[in-house]
Structure 1
Amino acid sequence: MALPSSTRSAPSKPTAARRNETGVVVAIAATVLAYALTQTMPVPTVNVLRQAFDTSAAATTWAVVSAPLLAGAVLTPVIGRLGDQFGKRRALLTVLAVFLAGSVTALVSWDIGVLIAARAVQGVSLAVMALGYGILRESLPADRVPFALGLTAGVLGGGAGGALVVGGLIVDHLPWRAMFLAGCLLVGTALVLVARYVPESRVRASGRPDLLGAGVLGLGLAALLLALTQAPAWGWTSPGVIALAAAGTVLFGLFIVVERRVAQPLVDPELFTHRPILMANLGALLLGISQYVFYLLVPTLAQLPAAPDAATATGFALSVTGAGLVMLPGSVATLPAGSVAGWMGGRLGPRAVLGLGLAVAVLGAAAMALGHDTAWQVAGLWVVFSIGSGLAMAALPALVSSAAPADRVASANGINVVARTVGGSVGSQLGIAVLASQTLPGTGTAAASAFGLSFWIAAGAAALGVLAAGLATSPAAG
């Protein structure tokens, strides 16, 4: 009787295994989607939140952008390392539980201080990408990993852009609390899927948590990002900004010293010096700069009023929803681009895909710098740029995951995620600075030349990223 039973059950094993693998991919994709939507949806609601809480624009900006950015950048390397040591599934479930608590608090916020605190708690969700990439590499067969990483990166890029449309629709048609209710539902769904489908890590890093290294790195990142965030308000040459930038630089140097001395470092110093990972981190930083210039300028350009003089016309006079719709085609294009990147990476290698993606982004950004006169033109060139950035975003985790040791995958991806986040902060502040420095005479409206210069900055950053990709020799080559 044993033989027939074995014969009947044998064909089902591959099917069951395939179904479990698909469940893992769906769970991680849902988690990344919850992060992308929840972090970006509030961006179009800045003015609505400012009026709802009767507060300043600076306080609202902290609630929408700065608080989650700072918290996420500081916590992600630590959480990635804890995931490597104690299990990525356990760490991801903990992150999602905290994320959900922050989302519920944001939903019921009664003043701007509570909302800022809630958004800071939500910032922990930045770590889901580092943990998710590690889980995909460990849970799937090698031939499915490139596609899964590409799909997840595409969901991240598409979700972030699509969230601007959703946020705009909410601003125009629903109470602002609706976006946080949607966030609660998304995070809760992701939590259930991860608990149901994601297995625990088989590979664990040894040692105890590096609390000293975590503290020094966290302070360094906080100082740097605070300087970038406050520079437009305080002035780029103000004593406060200079002091914070200097403190961040010193702390990063101290962090390297600490990590070389402790037995079990938070981040293995070799992860900074190993060329594929070093260049991947540089590429992530430059990609973040380029992307966030677009994230800032495209909706700004769409919503500015049009001027009768073609030489000084700067905007398309669209609503928040209309601005989101301008970005929608590019956001949608990111998803198939990420999926194609996984297929290409399996054949050409992630380094080649990273270089190709950044090269396409250069073309899109340069073309946008040369001409952005109509909404259709901007939407079309945004698609070109989004395809390139989607390819690059998908290649980054594949490059890092293939180059990092198995017990350091989450840590290495955590640093890469933070590098892109820091780049995003730099890019957004550069865009703000350029728009503020070039305005139409007698008004506070940005001149057309400001947009052209900003898009050239995005193109230049992506071009430097192409060079970094070229220097990221394959792991086999050392």
Structure 2
Amino acid sequence: MAYVSTHPLRLRGSRPDRPLAAASAGGSGTAVAPRPSRFVFPILAVGAIFQAIMQTVMVPLLPSMPALTGAGTTAVSWLVTTTLLVGAVMTPIFGRLADMIGKKRMLLVALVLMTVGSLLCAISSNIAVLITARGLQGAGAAIIPIGMSILREELPRERIGRAIALLSSTLGLGTALGIPFAAAIVQFADWHVLFWVTTAIGAAVMTAAAVFIRESRTRTGGRFDGVGAVGLTAALVSLLVPITQGSTWGWTSPAVLSMFAAAVVLFGLWGFQQLRNRNPLVDLRVSARRTVLMPHLAALLVGFAFYGNTLITTQLLQADPDRGAGYGLPILLAALCQLPASFAMMSFSLVAARLSDRWGTKVPMLAGALFLLCGYSLHAVPDKPLWSVVVALGVAAIGTTLVYCTLPVLIMGAVPLEQTAAANGVNVLLRTTGSTVCSAVVATVLAAHLSNGGITTAGFSIAYLVCATCAVVVFVAALALPAANRRPAEHVAEVPAG
């Protein structure tokens, strides 16, 4: 018989302090959770958009940051790298802690860290302070997996799929809003204003979450795997640092090769430790199931493809056509060209939910991979008019939405309720890793096709075709999924019968 508590659980105990209110009069032993606040989803959605904005807001600022901070180009590049690294490391850790000690508690911790990071960026121009602040903002990557686990616990079964699909789509909306917003600030005002605005947004979301979101009733308890957390952190840093810095340090340099070798060893040791641990940070046995492994593989590849759609196209739109391929658009116009793709992501998130409800999760996964393939195939066509670039952005964004909105449903249908945040945290970690790898691969491909101070048409086409290859692998991974997947379990708990 399972017990569920409305009060915080003792970390090592599984028995609650107090069960939910009595069951129905017939003594059936079944009680339905109280009705959630109608503000839960809007708060989580705004928080997710806020996190996505923080991930991308520095991109338009990077060319100007050396002059604004007095730092070198290499130091400035860490303003993006640090956010990705911290996000990758903290997402599975925060997800596990959310399952153990409370989802609201860890959601608030992530929001506080992001808001403090924004405040530090608003008051300082020192590069060391800014890098530290951007690291704090990286902790916000945990908001989406924790938010999804809150929705699974709070909402009725019939509303979970649609709510999670909409929450997933906020990634595209935040990305599309963050880039033009930052570009406009750079063009018309002092760049610190940008972070004063995000600080205010963070404080508002944090306050609303504290007031209107209740603490989770499902906790795993147990002992936190500190050794596993340190091991995963070391392994991820050893992997992601050389990926992000390889084009600067040299891919065959001793530093890069030694860090890659260390990553292989550390991941092996970490995996061995996780399999032997009774309370692992990541349940590798569950992750090895086909119903979990295939969504994780898809997350890695679609994370690569999604970032490529933004990263490659932004450079193409701004590149000088007199020196190579490009359209010569200013930063703000280039950013505005990506807004239709953002609206497409929001619209098709509901389509993804309906497809999953009617045909199962395999259909939107396959459809998303085909849209990605079509979008990148159109992207790869050389010397096309500007409108076709916008169309290709939208088609690829639709594919990303169909996959992104389905992945959490797949994960939650394959793992127990008490592992939801941790499992989704690993999925988001793999998306982040895919985006990090994409950044390195695109930089290497484009650098290999420099000519007369610009990038050739072939360079952009090859970069897009690499993303198209990822879409093909996602299609194959989707074919390996079971024909039908069960939905996330309802948030109904058993209580002791009177």
The whole-number CA distance in structure 1 between the counterparts of 2:411 and 2:205 is 25
Residues in 1 aligned to 2:264 and 2:92: alpha-carbon distance in whole angstroms: 18
Equivalences for residues 305-384 of structure 1 within 5 A: 305-307=320-322, 313-371=324-382, 373-384=384-395
Contact 2:361–2:485 (CA<8 Å) still a contact in 1? no
- What is the distance in 2 between the residues matched to 1:252 and 1:31? 32
Deviation at 1:313, TM superposition (A): 4.2
- The equivalent residue for 1:269 is 284
| RMSD of equivalent CA atoms | 1.7
C-alpha distance in structure 2 between counterparts of 1:96 and 1:467, whole Å: 37
Q: Which residue of 2 aligns with 1:176?
A: 191
Q: Quick one: percent identity of the two aligned structures?
A: 33
Give, in angstroms, the shift of residue 458 of structure 1.
0.7
Shift of the 467–21 alpha-carbon distance from structure 1 to 2, 3 Å rule, reads farther
2:43 aligned residue: 27
Q: Is 2:73 the partner of 1:57?
A: yes
Which residue in the other structure is 2:435 paired with?
424
Partner of 1:420, secondary structure, is helix
Select between 115-124 and 323-332 the one with higher mean Cα deviation: 323-332
Q: For residue 243 of structure 1, what is the amino acid of its counterpart?
A: S
Q: Verify: 1:451 aligned to 2:460, yes or no.
A: yes
Q: CA deviation at 1:271?
A: 2.7
Structure 1 pair 408–25 and aligned structure 2 pair: CA distance change class (3 A) = same
* Counterpart-to-counterpart distance in 2, 1:256 and 1:31: 32
C-alpha separation between the residues in 1 aligned to 2:358 and 2:265?
A: 42
The answer (yes or no) to whether the contact 1:290–1:458 under 8 Å persists in 2 is yes
Give the deviation of 1:273 after TM superposition. Answer: 0.5
Question: CA–CA distance in 2 between the matches of 1:291 and 1:110?
Answer: 31
- 1:439 aligned to 2:450? yes
Contact 1:42 1:179 in 2 (8 A): no
The alignment partner of 2:130 has SS state of helix
> What is the aligned partner in structure 1 of residue 406 from structure 2?
395
Q: Is the 8 A contact 2:324 2:455 kept in 1?
A: no
Distance 2:44 2:160 in 1: 12
Q: Please report how far the alpha carbon of residue 270 of structure 1 lies from its aligned counterpart in structure 2 after TM superposition.
A: 1.7
Alpha-carbon distance, 1:314 to partner: 0.5
Structure 1 partner of 2:222: 207
- 8 Å CA contact 1:284–1:396 kept in 2: the answer is yes
Does residue 408 of the first structure (1) align with residue 419 of the second (2)?
yes
Decide whether the 8 Å contact of 1:316 with 1:374 is kept in 2: no
CA–CA distance in structure 1, aligned partners of residues 369 and 122 of structure 2 = 38
1:263 offset after TM fit, Å? Answer: 1.3
TM-superposition CA deviations, 1:136-193 (whole Å, max 9, x none): 1111011101110111111111211221111111111111112111211221121122
Secondary structure of the structure 1 residue equivalent to 2:60:
helix
| Aligned mates of 2:385, 2:72 — CA distance in 1 | 33
Q: Distance in 2 between matches of 1:95 and 1:241?
A: 31
CA distance in 1, matches of 2:390, 2:223: 50
Q: Matched residues in 1 for 2:60 and 2:301: separation? A: 25
Distance between the aligned counterparts of 2:117 and 2:44, measured in 1? 20
Aligned AA (2:230) = G
The residue type paired with residue 190 of structure 2 is: P
Tell me which of 197, 204, 212 is aligned to 1:197. 212
Match of 1:472 among 447, 459, 481: 481
Residue number in structure 2 paired with 1:90: 105
Give the counterpart of 1:37 among 44, 53, 59.
53
Cα separation, partners in 2 of 1:372 and 1:338, compared to 1, 3 Å: farther
The CA distance in 1 between the partners of 2:375 and 2:125, in whole Å, is: 43
Corresponding residue of 1:79: 94
TM-score by length of 2: 0.88
Contact 1:79 1:91 (C-alpha < 8 Å) held by counterparts:
yes
Deviations 1:361-413 (A, max 9, x none): 11101111124533211111101111111111111111111211111000000
SS, match of residue 373 in structure 1? coil
Separation of aligned partners in 1, 2:261 and 2:201: 40
Q: Per chain length, whose mean CA-contact separation is higher, i.e. which structure has more relative contact order (CA < 8 Å, sep 6+)?
A: 2
Hey, what does 2:137 align to over in structure 1? 122
Mean Cα deviation higher: 46-55 or 455-464: 46-55
Equivalenced residues, count:
454
Match of 2:491 in 1: none
SS at match of 2:133: helix
Offset at 1:444? Answer: 3.0
More helix by share: 1
Task: After TM superposition, list the pairs within 5 Å mapping 1:222-237 onto structure 2.
Answer: 222-237=237-252
Change (3 A) 1:318 1:258: same
Instruction: Give secondary structure in 1 for the equivalent of 2:38.
Output: helix
The corresponding residue for 1:463 is 472
TM-score of the aligned structures, taking structure 1 as reference length: 0.92
User: Which whole-Å CA distance do the structure 1 matches of 2:95 and 2:368 have between them?
Assistant: 26
Residues 398, 381 of structure 1: CA spacing in aligned structure 2 closer, same or farther, 3 A cutoff? same
Q: Detail structure 1 runs of 4+ shifted over 6 Å in the superposition.
A: none
Question: Which amino acid letter does the alignment assign opposite residue 472 of structure 1?
Answer: L
Q: Secondary structure at the match of 2:282?
A: coil
Change (3 A) 1:21 1:462: farther
Q: Does 1:284 align with 2:299?
A: yes
